[in-house]
Amino acid sequence: MSDLPRKAVTRTAKLAALPLGIAGRATWGFGKRIVGESAELVGRELQQRTAEQLFKVLGELKGGAMKFGQALSVFESALPEEVAGPYRAALTKLQEAAPPMPTRTVHAVLEERLGEGWHELFLEFEDKPAAAASIGQVHRGVWHDGREVAVKVQYPGAGEALLSDLNQLSRFSRLLGPLIPGMDIKPLIAELKDRVSEELDYGLEAQAQQAHAEEFTDDPDVVVPQVVHQSDQVLVTEWMDGIPLSEIISDGTQEQRDRAGQLLARFLFSGPARTGLLHADPHPGNFRLLPGGPEGEDDWRLGVLDFGTVDRLPGGLPATIGESLRMTLDGEAEAVYELLCVEGFVKETIELDPDAVMDYLLPIIEPAQVEEFTFTRGWMRSQAARVADPRSPAYQLGKQLNLPPSYLLIHRVTLSTIGVLCQLGATVRLREELEEWLPGFVPEDPADGEEAVAEA
């Protein structure tokens, strides 16, 4: 029997209690207002209590509830500051930790998947988990060849729990919607559900991680641990120390923030170009800053973990993204609109004004218009408010645009990464990374085509 709360009735009861609890707290807040306490003080206390309840339940359940919480956490910078403050601490907890599964359960999984003599594979194995995630937890150990390793053990019943949670969360997605202005929660949950079977398959994760580890071997900027051993429900990789990105967000120096932001942008755009894979889970718990960058021990590299969710892009990111971004920056409204129609961003039944589409897009791509851009929570909030206000032209136009399924994950990963950059408050030379790695962003030199023809 699993120690993960997996029975649908138990998990559903916990999740179903959330809207009731939130409503109860609203009533409590109203009572406090009646006896004369200020709206601002009551509001903040109410938000804090709601956040504590929401993320306590998500963390306890692990599974899809925690996965949803992690996905939501990177959008925290879009919230108004008076709301974001109380949420921030609760969200950060989700990025790094969750209640551990008992030692006996861990040992049972290891014995079932690695054999009765599993202890002999390790010189050392720490029973206390070093980290916990949505579908598994990580233990530190020393492999039999002396390498320090991370041993990821999947929670028994994780698949059932994941789907049960996400189904339940989708039922009251309208209640959760106000957490992130301008974001439709339902498609996010649907997309997470689509990825469940893939994320549960540690074989696929091992392949994706090893592909990155090999490509980034000896890279001066990015470190990906090698895969050591893999079986169903157990994945052993090289251990990686470093400062978790969540700590850089809360306590890092500006130099660390800027370096982390630059490397995060570089990995987002260079990964698909170099491996044909997009790392699709960019919450801060999956990144580390490690010393020993190109400038020596005082410089930093980016360590990347958890390849359970990836988007397979054999040709890299679609050239349409780079082309439409370049043409928007160049003010080519008609050409941009035509490209968006061809790719399905504008449905055939809808006709929009190309200049209005341009006005909608330009503020979003502001970071690509300049040599370097400082990402801030204030900028993120202004973008969220612009597309979330029903009185805004951007809101009306955004409702008429369509997101083709093939772009859904790319869109979420890009938004999530921008959310993390805003949490970091990093100054990033984004245009430099786009020019280097994004297909279509730099127009092709006609001479290149002539050379290719001549060679043929």
What gap in Å lies between CA 26 and CA 49, rounded to an integer?
A: 10
User: Annotated catalytic residue: which of 258, 281, 306, 311?
Assistant: 281
Residue with tokens 């968006």: 340
What gap in Å lies between CA 159 and CA 194, rounded to an integer?
A: 12
**Torsion angle, alpha carbons of 132, 135, 139, 142, to 10:** -140
Written as one letter, the residue type at 434 is L
Q: Is 219 a catalytic residue?
A: no
Angle at 206 (CA atoms; ends 202, 210), nearest 5 degrees: 170
Beta bridge partners, 230, equal 235
Q: In whole angstroms, how far apart are CA 195 and each of 15, 66, 104?
A: 21, 15, 29
Q: Are strands 222-223 and 296-304 parallel, antiparallel or unpaired?
A: parallel
What gap in Å lies between CA 64 and CA 163, rounded to an integer?
A: 7
Q: Where are the alpha helices (DSSP H) in 74-184?
A: 81-96, 103-114, 158-171, 173-176
Beta bridge partners, 185, equal none
User: How many CB atoms neighbour CB 14 within 10 A?
Assistant: 18
| Catalytically annotated residues | 281
